[in-house]
Structure 1
Amino acid sequence: MNSSVSKSFDPVIRPAGLNGVLISFGDVLSEPANRAALAFAAAVGRAGIDGIEDCAPSLVSVFVQFDPLHLPLDRLVAQLEDLLRDQNWYAAAMPEGRRFIRVPTVYGTDRAPQLEEAAQAAGLSPHDAIAQLSDARVRVQTIGFAPGQPYLGLLPEAWNIPRQTALTKAVPEGALVVAIRQFVLFSVANPTGWRHVGQTALRLYRPDSDQPFFLRPGDEVQFVQAPPDVLERYADDPNGGAEIEAIP
């Protein structure tokens, strides 16, 4: 991914309720802003600031929850500002422990019926659309909306397609949907306004596991084209036939 930085946005710290602050690295999604959010959240965790109760990155921001009876807001903000001055977070190294995961994916067919519609919106043939989507190596930018559900990107500019004007009543677990240069991979069956272009056998939400969310922010994923029988072949494999390797 391109990590070039446009310094048109300086990080902003804002109060968020009575016991939270939001550190924003951008007002629109970009690779540098997401990189900054992931790297800064990891740095806050390493800093071990007494009184912080939780720290979670989103697409371009970091939410910090704190105990205001133990850690006054002004003192927390001062410590966060000191941390922000440590380095250029827009060009920071990504957190350690990330993985590259190649997920067998069925594009189109009756298992992912909106591939042709999405390809048309992107100005591509179905063949070229599958090639671009299957070749893309995307980052888990954040987890949200449903348990363990990732937003992944950024895709090539052609995939800056809008959401649908109406909801699809439901897509199944493992559905790969696309809009606004991002994928979402569904952890549970749910309605969506994004177009269903691929289907995987990957189970993202594993409530009985010590790590119930399979994917983590910063992981990189490639949804590799596979024949339709792959879904049945890996139906009993929670990883859906995925190949997993550590990112050095």
Structure 2
Amino acid sequence: MAMTDNQTSKVNRLFQTLAYFGVVPFVGSFKWLQKLFGEKTPKTPEKSQVVLVVGANGGVGKRVVPRLQERGYQVRSLVRDAKKAQKVLGKNVEIVTADITKPETLTPEIFKNVSKIICCTGTRVQPVEGDNPNREKYYQGIKFFMPEVVEDPQLVEYEGMKNLVAAAKPQLQPSNNKIIFDFTNPTQDLKKTWGALDDIVMGGVSESSIRLTDTGAI
């Protein structure tokens, strides 16, 4: 049975995504070569600079912290439960206690000497029938449990982020005004990169798209 134009387009998009992330060898960005021969050693970060990891004892945060430490960064972990964080992260990490949904807890001392902030917070999800304090059902990754959201996404991921940005902004000093992503002069390469990333986030070939304009990307 012949494929329709839409199906062909999706197959091509999937191939481009796989190629971009190095799944298809000899095609795309050749990132697989970097893995094969080893990447260049990153520059040693300045010891006086601190990376603040928000939500450091969550599923993502507890993986980010040791990666940063391996690269020589001084890490400060912002959590709601310091006792739990020490069990998860160990003793070789600075821990501060605050709650991004409560702006009064985000004091200036938290951001002292901080040059970078990585936010790993997210709305808490658990099995419908509940979980134990260590969230073993949620993290076991084998048996499927019907999930439910047990926190307010707007409070955590919108209001919480606003509180974090507002508290951090007066404390952080601009550093070389480095631009991470510049959409003011969009190119086809930019569209290709973000299209591939969007597919991964959406769990396959997504229906969304990036449209380039004269002064930006939508």
Q: TM-score, normalised by structure 2?
A: 0.24
More contact order relative to length (CA 8 Å, sep ≥ 6)? 1
Asked which structure has the greater CA Rg, the reply is: 2
More helix by share: 2
More strand by share: 1
